[in-house]
Chain A
Amino acid sequence: MFHICGRMTGRADDVFVARSLPDLKNATDDEIVKILAGKGYAQIFNLIDIRLTLGFLSVIVAAAAGGYDYYVGFEKAKTYTAVGVSLYFLLNIALTIWIMYYEKGTIYQGSKDGKTISVLSTTKKYTPIYDLKMTETTTSQSTHAKKPFTEFFDNNGYIVRKPLEEWIDGIITSVVQDGGAPAMISKDGRKKHK
């Protein structure tokens, strides 16, 4: 209930309590998006927009088929309904393929000072480790790093920004070689990712 209230008010400091592995991953993903926004990265929404377009297109198809069937009656609308249903499932299969093979866990894409980074995150079932891969798309330089969730979530399930941000800083520096990242990089951040 808590996190819905947080989302509805739209406050930046959502009080989100993570209670499961998907929760942990999603909370971390969201926090990273905010961290990168804070560092002045301009988010690129292409992947998200394609997903939204495919999705809403299929919703429109369903609504159109349903509406036409409602107004004209089942018998007259039969062929169009059949076409509509097939198109709907084709679009949704396309959407699923898109998510599985193209997005592949991309949670963020953004650019700053001419450098574009792409961030992928994955978690394995029942394993509380956050697996992050950041790629700089022009140089194809990428860093793959893992960290257990315990290092940036507190006992009550709240995310703690500081250790996460320090980790991300280190990864950004390794990927964007000549200083797209801020000057403050802690030793912890550097040591932990290899």
Chain B
Amino acid sequence: MLPQFSGAQLRQSLTQALNFCLVLTTAFMFWKGLSVVTDSPSPIVVVLSGSMEPAFQRGDILFLWNREARVKVGDIVVYNVKGRDIPIVHRVVRNHVSSKNQLLLTKGDNNAMDDVDLYAHKQYYLDRQNEVIGAVKGYVPWVGYVTILLSENLWAKYALLAGMGFLAMVQRD
């Protein structure tokens, strides 16, 4: 009687573990799916600095679209400079277009100078294909402040994950 009962209990534990995993993987797959659809490695970003005020404030959430082969001057783009890991959200102020590629010069609305200092050494223009991860197509104000808090306090991130895991295990289906 006892060994057979453990078979049922093992499956019960596995089922609960599965439900917990599915919460995480479904969220993750939605994110990756959105990534593929928008063709951007990070389709939703949070504004981290005040360099685009008054248009965007710290904590605003931006939605990106990266399927435009050529962006327009005046568009707001998000880019990663090669070698730096934080993406920057600034406006396109100048561009050079050819059939092969588009080179962009960007500047934060709230900055006095353009972004050349932010680019790599001896780099004066951004590569639209390789460095721009999307143009901003929409935004939600302030909501992203939670993620700023999470990224700046490590314990908050673990607390959130622990809370989600706890809830998934407590609820039965």
A residues apposed to B, CB below 8 Å: 3-4, 10, 12, 22-23, 26, 33-34, 37-38, 40, 42-43, 45, 48-49, 51-52, 55-56, 58-59, 62-63, 65-66, 69, 73-75, 78, 81-82, 84-85, 88-89, 92
Contacts and interface: CB of A to CB of B under 8 A. Distances in A.
Interface stretch (B19-27, B87-95, B117-125): B19-27
B4 A81 contact: no
Interface of B: 1, 4-5, 7-9, 11, 14-15, 18, 21-22, 25-26, 28-29, 32-33, 35-36, 39, 41, 169-170, 172-173
Contact of A78 (B21, B29, B36, B172): B36
B11 A52 contact: yes
Majority SS of interface residues in chain A? helix
Lowest 7 A-B CB distances belong to which pairs?
A74-B41, A62-B25, A85-B33, A55-B18, A82-B36, A88-B29, A59-B21
A173 B33 CA distance: 53
A115 B56 CA distance: 69
B172 A69 contact: no
A88 B41 CA distance: 19
Contacts of B7: 43, 45
Contacts of A73: 41
Contacts of A88: 25, 29
B172 to A, nearest CB: 5
B9 A43 contact: no
B25 A37 contact: no
Contacts of A40: 1
Given A4-B169, A59-B22, A62-B25, A52 B32 contact: no
Given A33-B8, A78-B36, A85-B33, A22 B172 contact: yes
A55 B9 CA distance: 18
A70 B8 CA distance: 37
Given A12-B5, A52-B18, A59-B25, A45 B36 contact: no
A73 B7 CA distance: 41
A42 B4 contact: yes
